[in-house]
Every structure is written in C-alpha cells, then in structure tokens.
Structure 1
C-alpha cells in the first residue's frame, strides 16, 4: 500500500517535471544566449577602449608644435606646389628658425583653385606629400563650397546652385543627385572637409546677409539639408553646419552681429534646425553673434560673441544637445571680433576655454596665436587639458574621415593572439 502510494506520488512528480521541462530548456537557452550577447557587448566595449587608448597614446607622443598646430584651420599660399610660410621657431619667439610649422587644416579660397581637376589634385597631393615627408599629421583639406555666391570650385565644377535655388526648384531626387555628384567630385579632388551647409532658417533679421545661402523656412532646411549632409558624409567629407546659433543682417567681416529675439523664436527658429541636424554631421561652426533673449535677459551673457562663449559651446551644444563632433570657430580675424575689443590672440584663448576644438583663420600665419595658446597651457593645467582633449577629438575625426587610419594589431610581439586587438594610428593613403 505504501509502495503503491509512493509510486503514485513519484508518477505525479515526474509528470509535473516533464510539463515544466520545456520551460526549463527555454529558460536555459535564453540565459545562454544572453550570456553570449553580454560577452559580445563587453568585447565591443573593450575594443572601443583599445581604440581610445591608441588615440590618446598617439596624441601624447606628438611633438609640441605638431600638437598645437592641430587646433588651426588656416589659409595657404599658391595653387601649384605647397610651401609653408612659417617655422616652428615662431612658437618660441624665433620666427626664422626651426622646422616648417604646418597647420592641422588647410583652407582653400578661390585663388587656391587651379584651372583644371588635375592641377587641383596635384596641389592637394603636394600638401599631403610635404606633411608626410616632414613626419607631420596629415591635414584636413577644407573649402567653402556652399553653392551660389559661395562657390570656390567654380572653375572646376561650373556654376553650382545656391541653397535657396535648390529648395525652390528641386525635388528630393534631383537635389540628392546634385549633392551626390558634387560630393563625389570633391572627394575625387582630395577634399575631406566642406564648410557647408548653412542650416540657419531665413528670417527678416538675417535675410539681408544670408541672401540665397539659406534653404529658407525651417521645413525646407530640415528637408534639404540632410540630403546635402548625407551626400558628403558618405564620401568621407566632413560637413560643417553653419552658423550656430545664428546671424543677423550685419556682415561679421565688418561688424558684430547682434540678435535680439524672444525665447520662443530662439528655440523654434534659431536652435531647432541645429538640434535636429547635428546628429547627422561631423562638425559645427560657431557664429560671432551676440544673443539677447528679450523676455529672459538672464538666459545668456549677451555681451559675449557665441564663438567664445562657454554657454553656447559647452552648455548648449555639448550638454543640452549632446553633440560629440568637432566645434569650429568662425574666422577670428574677422572685423566682428577685432573691432569690438576681441583681438585674435585673446579670442583664440577664450574660444578654447569655451570648448571650441578648431580655430579658423583667414590669415596664412598662425604662429603668433599658437604661441599664446602654448604659453597659456604652460600656466594652466585646466587649459592644457582642454587642448589635449581637442587634439584627441580632432585625431578621432581625422580617422573617421579617412585622413588617418587605426591599424588593427591582433598578435603581440611573441606571436600570441591578443584577446582584444590593439590599434595604432597611421597615415592613410593619399
């Protein structure tokens, strides 16, 4: 009797076990997969850390003159064979001594563009060759190619329509085709950074200055700008959204733009296009405008131009918008700054303090400004750290843009396979 009773209990227990066994197997399978997924996630994190370490080590080993030069995007001489106009001695009060002082980026104007594609390619190749022979970090090769009135490549590509014309006359397919063709042409020439597009919404307060350089309304900006941005970024040409947070009708080449605006219009007209488009782009360019929020005067310091304002660069772009790309100043030699008490050397320091990564100069010499930054870095550990972080970000985006490469190393010096690959920063082919 007892045996029979125990047998019944055993049978019932077995039936219960068999009923839940599929659930057990399913749970085990899920846990097993989760474990594999977690391992893969941790591996990918380790790889990213390894890449970050490689960039940090690369930057730490750069000579002082090469490191500080990464912060500058400057105009260059000629259109045939590259030659530098400064020496490293200019960083230390001995301008005629030392090795060539080479900027981190070379900015082309119309007079730097020769008459044929072959000549332009040859000139750009001469730049990269000179940098390579001098063991320098290859530069950004940059140009303002917005279209319309700002068309540096007119001799090569002919007339290229303005943003306004495109938004008024082109449908999506035609605009995409046009931008893809332009991006392909520029990549073939050797450019890797385009100071475009303008993504400011056209208003009564800025239309006199921007004219045809804006797509127009917010809706048109958000429709057409992504077509342009994606076309260039897909060709590994970094785009630069302009001009954050906005402009007035005052030309910053001659005066300081002053923007007086309500908080509602600030949010919906000035900031909205940048907030929506920044995730698509490698970089953004700061304007020289001073902003006054009429119904909230304490919102920002209206006496400070945006390009040297920690509020606009760090608080809004980095913290509020979460932007992780490169931040460029507009030309610090523009009259907008100098004529209002912000001399180029002081403006450069304040731009770096604000969080700007790259300082743009229309001048061909940057040694005197770089000298001031080096002096400041020697006096302030905080300022020196800002320079280090900016150079690391610049190198990171030169890698993303194909200017440099992260070469993967899978084996150690003894021939053993590494659990996590190591990386080394090297120059890309040109």
Structure 2
C-alpha cells in the first residue's frame, strides 16, 4: 500500500537542477482536481525582452576586487559561437558516433549530447563516450552526456552491465527506500559507462480516466502514479538515488503531459486545456526539485489556460513566471526534443533555439545532429543584433557552466 505524501508548497522550496515523449523502439479531458498546490503566482513577465538593469560600477578598489570565479573565467575564454554551442544538446548514436555525427561534434562542439537508439555493453559504451568527450571538450569544459533511462519501454542502454529497469508504473509501487536504492544502482551503471545525465524521471501525473488515451505517458506506463502525491513520492525517490550515484536528472515535462492525448514526437497541435497555473498536478516537479534534480524539462505542448499563444518552451509565462518564479528554480531549464519532433516541424529551425532562450530557457535538445549548426548560427546572429538577447544568452551559459562545474566537468586554473 502507498502512503499519502503531503503536498509540498512550491513557494517554500529552497532551490538546491530526452526527449521526453520517446516512444518504444517500435513504436475527453478529465475534470481538473479541486485542490491545488499553494502557489502565489508572481507577476507574469511580458513577452518583450527587456534589457537587464545595469549594475552600478563600483569605485575601483584593487584590494577589495574579488578574483573571477571559475565559471566567469571560463565564460571569458569562450567565443560567442562557443558560448552558443554550450546551449545545444545534440543527438548521437548510443553505440558510438557515426562519421557524420563525429564531424558535427568536432566542428560545432555542442555543450551536451544525448544518446539515440540502443547501445552495446557498458564497456563498449564507456569507450564510445570517452571519444565523445574528447571530441566535444572545449577549453577544459567537458560535455553533458545524457540518456533516456526511465525504465520499461523507455530505456536506451540495455547491453551487458546495464540492468533492465522496470517501468515507472512498477517503480511507483515500491517504497521510497527501495526505489532510491535501485535508482542509485542504475545510476552507478550509467556513471561507469560515461553517462552523467539521465533525462528522467517523468513527473507527469496521468489520471486513471485518461490513461488509455494518453499517448505520450499513460499508454507507455511512464508515470509513477495517478495522483500528485503518489507520483511525487516516486519522482523524489528516483532523483535522490541518481543524485547519490553522481548522475544528474531532469524532471519532465513541465507543466505536465499527463492530461493530453497526442504524442508531440509524432503529432502537431497538441494542447492541454486543463492545467492551470498553481495546479495540484505540479507537485511532483516541486518534489523533484526538493530532492535535488539538476534540470527541469519543459514540454512543447500549448497550455490554453496558462499561455494560449505560445508552446510551453516558448512561453515566458511558463519558464520565467512558473518555473523560475512559482517554483523558485534558478538552475538549468531544458527543452523536450525540438529537432525531430512533429510538434515543432512548422517552426524555423533557428527560431526553435532563439525563442526558447528568449523565453528564459537554457539547453535545447536537438535529435537531428545535422541541425546543430543552424541552431548555433541563429543564436549567434540574434545575440549580435540584440543586446537584451545577448544578455539572456550569457545568463544561460553561466547556468550551464555552473552545473558542469558542480559535477566536475570544468577544469579551472
């Protein structure tokens, strides 16, 4: 039997950090709950890109001038193009880079990569990831290497040395202690293989009434529970175990895919007409943050009761207002896939990156390696033309480098 978990007030959180709609390799709206997470919404930011206020220049006092920290030092060594590349997570083959992917990684030096398809053994994967690290490292800054290792139908790494992970619906029936211990084991296997990010866990809540109709989550048994409390318990335990193994996680897909019908990997025009700002279904994201997640992943769905004019990844209301405001999150915000997903196919490739960063996001997941240069070029061009956007890009790079430094991926001094 599951024990109920008390709703965590998002405003009380102290901030401690792929493709979410993956389908298996072969692969009417419910009523919103009456209860809600006690959030006092902050003022919703406008969609304009206001230039940050300037910090007054202090009177020169050499003896009191602090030395630049590691992140600032590294940021100063990067060209604008290298900074922009730190914001792209490029998809590569889990079994090792193809010649085309290697060329992209060597030329563009994306700050992160994530694995597609299935891998070989843990030993083979470790060798392949060492090659990736060598190709992507720039100025002592190593890449984030991520995999979708949720369990059940969504598990990239399955070869010798990797346990087969039960579906989250099964994990959600375990005690928190058991799930944390198992997640720590799975995380240690990833760490030994050279993977430092698990793009999990799913924090979406799928109500029982929609499970059979919910293509991205419910039909694939990716949810930890059918209530916010049950899902939150599983999310917190999974994040804790991975963190104890030294592997970063990304709670996904804010503000939730549990009440939609279409899968954005294969369908466009997917909308959520139920979720509201301060919704009770946001509790698992809050608990994931409390447990120490490294990133928050934002979905590509449009939430008509939150921001009917923008997909969540392009919405300042969602990213700045809810993630950074209501949740109090100051870390890295990452997209669901915007490289191959059908949901964003009509959006120009470069705009997928610039609109996300303009809205307050940081890392862009791109499943098509060949699109990497286009995204980097777009970020550079907009930063050169727009000082307000350039400031946002710099802030995003600082957050990414800070996360990397915290996990030993930045060499300083």
Q: TM class, shorter-chain normalised? A: 0.7 to 0.9
- Structure 2 counterpart of 1:305: 311
Distance 1:404 1:228 in 2: 26
TM-score, with structure 2 as normaliser: 0.76
- Structure 2 counterpart of 1:395: 401
Matching of residues 54-133 of structure 1 within 5 Å: 54-77=70-93, 79-80=95-96, 85=101, 100-111=107-118, 113-114=119-120, 116-132=121-137
Aligned Cα root-mean-square deviation (Å): 2.4
SS in 2 for 1:387: helix
Distance 1:219 1:104 in 2: 35
Residues 150-206 of structure 1: CA distance to partner in whole angstroms, max 9, x if unpaired? Answer: 0111223242101101223x2333322211110111111111111000011112446
* Alignment equivalent of 1:349, drawn from 349, 354, 360: 354
Change (3 A) 1:262 1:274: closer
Q: Does 1:230 align with 2:240?
A: yes
- Give the number of aligned pairs: 336
Distance 2:321 2:196 in 1: 29
Distance 1:196 1:378 in 2: 35
- Structure 2 counterpart of 1:244: 254
Unpaired stretches in structure 1, ≥5 consecutive residues: 1-48, 91-98, 294-299, 406-424
Q: Which has the higher helix share?
A: 1
- Structure 1 counterpart of 2:39: none
Contact 1:86 1:367 in 2 (8 A): no
Distance 2:361 2:204 in 1: 20
SS in 2 for 1:267: coil
Contact 2:184 2:243 in 1 (8 A): no
- Structure 2 counterpart of 1:214: 223
Q: Which moved more, 1:396-405 or 1:139-148?
A: 396-405
Matching of residues 250-399 of structure 1 within 5 Å: 250-255=262-267, 256-261=269-274, 263=276, 267-279=278-290, 280-293=292-305, 300-333=306-339, 334-338=341-345, 341-365=346-370, 366-399=372-405
Contact 2:185 2:245 in 1 (8 A): no
TM-score, with structure 1 as normaliser: 0.73
CA-CA distance at 1:269 after TM superposition: 3.5
CA-CA distance at 1:54 after TM superposition: 3.1
Unpaired stretches in structure 2, ≥5 consecutive residues: 1-64
Residues 278-333 of structure 1: CA distance to partner in whole angstroms, max 9, x if unpaired? Answer: 2321111100111122xxxxxx3212110111110011111222101110011113
Greater relative contact order structure (CA < 8 Å, 6+ sep)? 2
Distance 1:273 1:173 in 2: 17
- Structure 1 counterpart of 2:24: none
Distance 1:131 1:360 in 2: 16
* Alignment equivalent of 1:165, drawn from 163, 170, 174: 170
Contact 2:180 2:237 in 1 (8 A): yes
Contact 2:264 2:343 in 1 (8 A): yes
- Structure 2 counterpart of 1:21: none
Change (3 A) 1:310 1:268: closer
Larger Rg: 1
